[in-house]
Structures are given as structure tokens and as C-alpha cells.
């Protein structure tokens, strides 16, 4: 006798997934002009728009004026046609590239130092300075007119009057390097060329050659170096060369308590405090000099 037992079981499994489809909405205008003319192209022929991009795919609109082959008579058919899927290629990360700062001023400064390509020489207070006409003309409208204007210089050696050699050297340094020179480099161990005096001369030279940035730098420096010994000369320079900030700072200094009396009592009040090239002023300078003197005298009697 044998016994057998049979078991049967029904196993039910179910799986599922949810796919979220991102809805992308775009608009594309396909303008149809000359409809009656388009009707003559015949059944099954179409006009196509330009390709446009939506949702990672390229599409176009196909317009059948007389319907497609499957359309009924007297129908117009319009289809949105999938042209192709745009392929996306992985892009390697852009490497970190350090771009060095520009160094044109340093390069031009080196050109001035080594003397390569020089084509003009300046005679200044017994010293000679060589330079490049094109660079000077690019930086200064006065040099531009002097070298390339209708009345341009014919000689390659030019004598500069009413300017000292250290000042002209500082002027060239700024033209080539676009930086204010270190005064220790231009003083040439001469005690008379102190920082304040060179700054005064350099402001006058900057105004003379149309170097507005250098003029402003000098004006800013002089505004911080006003004292009872130089305020009159600085006020004169400010008036003569239209330095409004320097002029206002000088007047504010003179307005301080007790300053006017010390200024008028200063031994070098009138002429001694002026730059050397102003100690023998022309007629025009004489009239210009009346302004700061008149201001000082007026303020003295008004405030005391």
C-alpha cells in the first residue's frame, strides 16, 4: 500500500512602476502666406517649417495645402514631425587656468630703459633723455601734435625749457609705466629736490603735456603736504592750473585758527616759497600771483 500526497499552491506576484513624464510646452509660429498659390502644389505635397527644438528633440511642422494621401478631398493637413533626437555628449570639466595679469606698462618701462628703437632725444637742464615718439604721442595730446601734427618738429633733438631734469625723468617714467615714480629714483642725491617740490613741478609738467591722471595724482599728494611754508605757492599753482581740490584744501588750511598770522609772518611768504621756475614770473604770472596773495590778506583781516 502506498500513500501519496500532492500539494499544489498558486503563487501570484505583481510588479509595478510609475513613470513621471515631464510636460514641456513650447510655441513655434509657422506663418503661411499666399494660401491660394500654395493650393496649386498638388495633393500629397507639403511645405515645411524651420526646425525647432523642444524637450531634447528636433521638430518641424509639415503643411499640406491639399491634404496628405490619407486625407479626404478638400482637406488641409498639418503635422508636427519628429526630425531627430538631440544627442548629448559628456563634456570634460574645464581645467582651472590662471590668466596672468597684463604687464604692458612693465614692458614699455623696459623699452625705455634698454633704449631699443628710440627716435627722439630731449635736452633738459643739461641732461639728455631718449624716448619713442609713438609712445609719447599715444599718451600725451601735446606730444602727438608736436610729433605728428601740422606743425610737427623736424628735428630729432628737442630742447625743453623751464623744466628741471629730475622732473622730466619722472614725467617719462609715468608716460611709460603709468605709475607714479619713487622719488628716491629721481632725486639724484640733490637736497633741493625734495618730495614736495618735485610734486609741485610734476603737477605743472603734467598740465603742460595734458597728462590728466598724473596731474590728479600730484594734486592729491600736495593736498596732504600743505604747511605754512608752502600754502601760498600751492594756492598759486592750484589757481594757475585749475586744481579745484588743491585750492579748496589750501583755503581750508588758511581758515584754521592762527594759521594766517604764521603764514604772513613767514620769511618766504611772497617769493621764496615759489618753485624756482616761478621766481621770475612773466606778466601773466604776476597777475595770477595776485590771487593767492589777495586771498591771504583778505582772510587775515576778515578772521582777525
Count the helix, strand and coil residues of the chain and give each as a percent rounded to the nearest 5.
Answer: 40, 10, 45
Q: Quick one: pLDDT at residue 16?
A: 61
Residue 55 lies in a domain: yes
Out of 27, 52, 84, a domain closes at 84
SS3 168: helix
Residue 67 to residues 39, 51, 63, 78, 83, Cα–Cα distance (Å): 10, 21, 8, 8, 20
Whether the pLDDT of residue 29 is over 60: the answer is yes
Residue where one domain finishes, among candidates 43, 61, 84: 84
Structural domain contains residue 24: no
pLDDT class of 168 with cuts at 50, 70, 90: very high
- Distance in angstroms (rounded) separating the CA atoms of residues 62 and 195: 82
Q: How many domains does the chain have?
A: 2
Q: Which domain holds residue 292?
A: 226-304
Within a domain: 167: no
120 assigned to some structural domain: no
Residue found by looking up cell 548629448 in the block: 88
In a domain, 244, yes or no: yes
Task: Confirm whether 162 is domain-assigned.
Answer: no
pLDDT: is 220 or 279 the higher one? 220
For the residues 122-146, what does the mean pLDDT come to? 95
Quick one: pLDDT at residue 266?
66
Q: What average pLDDT does the segment 130-143 reach?
A: 96
Residue of 234 and 88 predicted with greater confidence: 234
Q: Tell me if 124 is assigned to some domain.
A: no
pLDDT band at 10 (very low <50, low <70, confident <90, very high): low
Beta strands in 109-209, from DSSP E residues, in sequence order? 120-124, 127-131, 157-160
Amino acid at each position: 500500500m502506498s500513500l501519496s500526497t500532492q500539494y499544489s499552491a498558486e503563487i501570484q506576484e505583481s510588479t509595478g512602476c510609475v513613470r513621471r513624464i515631464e510636460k514641456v510646452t513650447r510655441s513655434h509660429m509657422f506663418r503661411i502666406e499666399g494660401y491660394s498659390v500654395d493650393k496649386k502644389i498638388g495633393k500629397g505635397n507639403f511645405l515645411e517649417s524651420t526646425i525647432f527644438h523642444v524637450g531634447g528633440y528636433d521638430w518641424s511642422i509639415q503643411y499640406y495645402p491639399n491634404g496628405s494621401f490619407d486625407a479626404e478631398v478638400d482637406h488641409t493637413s498639418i503635422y508636427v514631425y519628429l526630425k531627430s533626437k538631440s544627442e548629448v555628449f559628456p563634456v570634460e570639466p574645464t581645467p582651472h587656468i590662471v590668466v596672468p595679469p597684463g604687464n604692458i606698462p612693465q614692458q614699455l618701462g623696459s623699452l625705455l630703459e634698454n633704449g631699443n628703437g628710440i627716435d627722439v632725444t630731449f635736452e633738459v637742464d643739461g641732461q639728455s633723455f631718449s624716448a619713442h615718439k609713438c609712445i609719447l604721442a599715444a599718451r600725451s595730446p601735446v606730444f602727438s601734435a608736436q610729433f605728428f601734427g601740422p606743425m610737427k618738429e623736424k628735428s630729432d633733438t628737442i630742447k625743453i625749457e623751464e623744466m628741471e631734469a629730475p622732473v622730466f625723468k619722472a614725467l617719462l617714467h609715468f608716460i611709460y609705466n603709468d605709475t607714479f615714480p619713487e622719488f628716491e629714483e629721481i632725486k639724484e642725491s640733490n637736497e633741493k629736490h625734495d618730495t614736495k617740490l618735485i610734486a609741485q613741478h610734476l603737477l605743472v609738467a603734467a598740465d603742460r603735456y595734458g597728462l590728466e591722471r598724473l596731474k590728479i595724482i600730484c594734486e592729491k599728494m600736495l593736498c596732504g603736504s600743505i604747511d605754512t611754508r608752502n600754502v601760498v605757492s600751492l594756492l598759486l599753482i592750484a589757481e594757475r592750473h585749475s586744481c579745484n581740490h588743491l585750492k579748496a584744501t589750501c583755503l581750508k588750511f588758511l581758515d584754521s585758527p592762527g594759521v594766517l598770522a604764521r603764514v604772513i609772518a613767514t620769511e618766504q611768504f611772497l617769493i621764496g616759497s615759489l618753485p624756482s621756475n616761478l621766481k621770475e614770473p612773466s606778466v601773466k604770472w604776476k597777475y595770477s600771483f595776485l590771487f593767492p596773495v589777495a586771498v591771504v590778506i583778505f582772510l587775515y583781516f576778515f578772521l582777525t
